[in-house]
Amino acid sequence: MRDRSMKKSTKKSTKKNEERGPQKAAGMPVKFTLFLIPLAAAMCFFGIYRGETAVILSKAITICLECIGLG
């Protein structure tokens, strides 16, 4: 009996999703997500190109040393 109720609820949820169109679980459109992923990757590569990784690493080390009382 439990299996039947689970199947019915699954069918209802997929119908709602099909009617709304392609979207992520949080309600963000897929086109927007596909735009943000390359943009985020480009910004990461730009930061690496500028040498920001060394700055971030030095700040992280300073914060960690201050937390344990050595900085």
Place of tokens 């299996």: 3
- What single-letter amino acid sits at 46? F
What is the model's pTM? Answer: 0.49
pLDDT tens for 2-51 read 555 555 555 555 555 556 655 556 677 899 999 999 999 999 999 999 99
Q: Please give the C-alpha separations between residue 32 and each of 25, 46, 63, in angstroms, as whole numbers.
A: 13, 21, 35
Q: Kindly list the domain boundaries of the chain, sorted by start residue.
A: 21-71
